[in-house]
Amino acid sequence: MQGIPPYELAYNMKLPGTYYAYALGMAVFGQTIKGVHLTLIVANSLTIIMMFLLGRKLFGIAAGLVACASYAVMSVSPAVAGLAAHATHFVVLFAMPATLLLLKGCETNRRGVLFFSGLLYGLAFLMKQQGVFFGFFGGIFLIWQVARNKSAFSAEFGGSIFVFGLGMVLPFGLTCLGLALAGFFPEFWFWTFTYARSYVTSITWSEGIHYLHDFLRDQFDLSLGFWMITAVGLPLAFFDRGSRNRAVFATVFCLCSFLGTATGLYFRPHYFILMLPGFALIQGMAVIAMQQVLRFRALENVLKSLPVILFITVLAWVVFYHSLIFFRLSPIEACQNLYPWNPFVESLAVARYIREHSTEKARIAVIGSEPQIYFYAQRRSATGYIYTYALMERQPNALKMQHEMMREIEAARPEYLVFVIYGFSWLFQPGSDHTILHWFDGYSGRFYKQVGIVQLNSAGKVEGIWGDAANSSPKPAGQYIAVYKRKSDLEINRGESDQPEKTDTTVP
């Protein structure tokens, strides 16, 4: 929004589509916490509408209602971290209308419709790399249509594939061109492909299966009802010759979205948002399939209502399961409940202090993975490394990244340093290189003095020690955030002895 291209001041392995989506949302709703949540509400609401339209088109109005209700509840579930605006929310926002246009384009043989379908699939990919699997689904469906119509070698098929493919590659191609003209294509390519490839290949199959097992086990009580509906209704849909092709469509759509979820084998909760549209579509299909089986003249209306009652019961259970988060806790309490090992609430106090004690042009550096502090403080970063996870991972560029982050901070001479002493802000692994932590000890001790200590007390309330009291305070036990202010040149030259206690480089 300020004319700075992606990857100049903030490094991240995601493609830049989500950044543009956030910028658009905050341009409309404001650069505030509320603005972010309103952006999520609008994006998710549009996806819910698309879910209804797709379910209705494939299986009828009732299936559309079941599908959109399923997605509406599951997509905001804490089980998939759905209350935060993840990149995956924006992927499905574009993938759903793309799929609707794909169906319409194949029905009408209108290449313009197929072009816009491919364009939306391309935008889904631009939101996050995993969105490419929705585009794969679109290509698979086009080929399947050809096989059914026996027109594989026709000019019509070639033209359809060409315009669809052109639409898919256009967003990415224009992005590459724009970043090349801005002079940041090498940084873009390194983070989104070179480093991203190392990231997604670092997990073994056995580790991935373990992560998937843990997720399914943890969500078993919550999702059991949906799996029961799927287990009963999915086979029934395939047995019905009239709905078999549409059942194949929904199943392949769900499988392709699962491939996006499984990329890298991490199986983090918010990755499953990619799978929710396909899973919700299967819920609608399954309920209709069960109704078809229960058609008996004597008690037709009563029996047909049973699958609907079952579905409503399952949905009500999910809402009740999360009632504490949905209805009872305040936003602060809900955040602490959902993310107990992350300093999200503490970040507000840190950012408020920096905002009140620095000018708008001041640079700060967060040594940790808490980029929200930049957002809350409305101050730019002195380094592009707004996350430190990559520096601790088992990947060949980790030490190189640490040295680059250190050089950037030393060159920028930020007014404030924020050192995040939380394990989840680093995600140490066996064999992680701690060079940057040892560097921080010497650098902060020579050029900075401690002016803030923020942590949660035993009651879960944020406590802060500021100013000279923080500089003379002993190192707290447990996890906390330390704030440092740069000394004046005179203080540095005189070598005054008011340096803070040396930071413990072991982060709990």
| Distance from C-alpha of 27 to C-alpha of 210, rounded to nearest angstrom | 41
| Mean pLDDT within 242-249 | 87
- d(Cα 173, Cα 155) in Å, to the nearest integer? 26
Mean pLDDT across 29-37: 93
Query: Which has more pLDDT, 501 or 352?
Result: 352
Name the one residue in this structure whose structure tokens are 């939101």: 127
Asked if pLDDT for residue 166 goes beyond 60, the answer is yes
pLDDT of res. 60: 93
Quick: pLDDT tens for 139-165: 999 888 876 766 656 667 778 889 999
Tell me if 500 sits within 8 A of 471, measured CB to CB: yes
Residue range 44-100, pLDDT digits in tens: 999 999 999 999 999 999 999 999 999 999 999 999 999 999 999 999 999 999 999
pLDDT tens-digit readout, 469-490: 988 888 888 899 999 999 988 8
Is the dihedral angle over the CA atoms 251, 263, 84, 31 positive or is it negative? negative
Q: Decide which of 295 and 110 is more confident.
A: 110
The pairs formed by 189-195 with CB atoms below 8 angstroms and a separation of 24 or more are 191/7, 191/11, 191/12, 191/13, 192/13, 192/14, 192/15, 192/129, 194/397, 195/13, 195/390, 195/395, 195/397
Helix axes 244-262 and 87-108, enclosed angle (nearest 10): 150
Mean pLDDT over each residue of the chain, to the nearest integer: 90
Lowest-confidence segment of 100-104, 134-138, 179-183, 459-463 by average pLDDT: 459-463
pLDDT at 342 over 70: yes
Q: Cα separations (Å) of 428 from 263, 296, 344? A: 22, 61, 19
For the segment 348-359, the average pLDDT, to the nearest whole number, is: 95
Give the pLDDT confidence score for residue 296 in this predicted structure: 63
Residue 92 φ/ψ region, left for φ over 0, alpha for ψ in the -120 to 50 degree band, beta for the rest: alpha
pLDDT, tens digit, for every residue of 422-436? 999 999 988 899 999
What is the structure's pLDDT at 180?
Answer: 94
Percentage of the residues of the chain whose pLDDT score is greater than 70: 94
User: What is the predicted pLDDT for the residue at 297?
Assistant: 55
> What does pTM read for this prediction?
0.90
| Nearest Cα to Cα of residue 418 among 370, 461, 362 | 370
Q: Using one digit for the tens of pLDDT, what is the confidence trace for 42-56?
A: 999 999 999 999 999
Q: What is the pLDDT of residue 153?
A: 60
pLDDT for res 496: 53
Element (H, E) at 147: helix 132-149
pLDDT at 506 over 60: no
The pLDDT confidence band at residue 499, using thresholds 50, 70 and 90, is: very low
pLDDT of 124 higher than 90: yes
